[in-house]
Amino acid sequence: MGNIPSDIGNLSSLIFLSLAHNGLSGTIPTSVGRLQKLQRSDLSDNMFQGSIPFEICQLESLADLVLTNNKLSASVPLCNGNLTIALRSLLLGSNKLTSKIPSSLWSLAYILDRDLSHNSLIGSLVEDFSNSKVVTHFDLSDNQLSGNIPGSIGDLQNLANLSLAKNNLEGPIPDSFGNLLSMEWLDLSKNRLSGEIKVFRGTFASQIS
């Protein structure tokens, strides 16, 4: 039990922070923005509430941010600039995040693992996936996303795992899914999609409704 003290920001040499699987509660202090050498932060499986502090966007060395399975709410921070260079994993699943996915999140050019599943995010998918070409794992399942799946999703040549299940997506399944040669696991179930997936030239398991 307990919370993260605000003076954690004084640990200026901290590179790795893991406080996962504790009974921690309260909010994530804004002072984490002073941990300029931090490369990995894992605060998953706690009871943190409130918003994700914008100050996290100032951590230009941060490669892995894991906040899965908390009670974080409000919107995903609108991060621009240095954070987008280093970040490789952004795991925000199983929280209470709302609002649209910010445009800056779609522009994370070097991110490999992106998980925003099991939240209450709204809006549509980005029309242009060209800035996300290195992503290998993408989970947006169990949200309230709507609209069509854009054809540009076929540009994600390294994508191995994709889940868009349990949303309000509709319209035809893009033919460009057939270009996803690295795909191993695909879940589009529990939407209002139509049509069929063109034949993959790789081996994959799919769940489609």
What CA–CA distance (Å, rounded) separates 47 from 1? Answer: 9
Q: What is the mean pLDDT of residues 56-61?
A: 92
Q: Give, in order, the Cα–Cα distances in Å from 111 to each of 46, 106, 116.
A: 24, 10, 13
Q: What is the mean pLDDT of residues 163-177?
A: 95
What CA–CA distance (Å, rounded) separates 66 from 116? Answer: 11
Joined tokens for residue 180 = 């996803």
What CA–CA distance (Å, rounded) separates 129 from 151? Answer: 9
Strands 168-172 and 192-194, sheet pairing: parallel
What CA–CA distance (Å, rounded) separates 105 from 204? Answer: 27
123-135 pLDDT, tens digit per residue, is 999 998 888 889 9
What CA–CA distance (Å, rounded) separates 204 from 21? Answer: 33
What CA–CA distance (Å, rounded) separates 94 from 133? Answer: 25
pTM over 0.85: yes
Residue given tokens 């035809």 in the structure block? 172
Lowest mean pLDDT among 114-123, 161-170, 172-181: 172-181
Domains of the chain listed by start with CATH number: 6-207 (3.80.10.10)
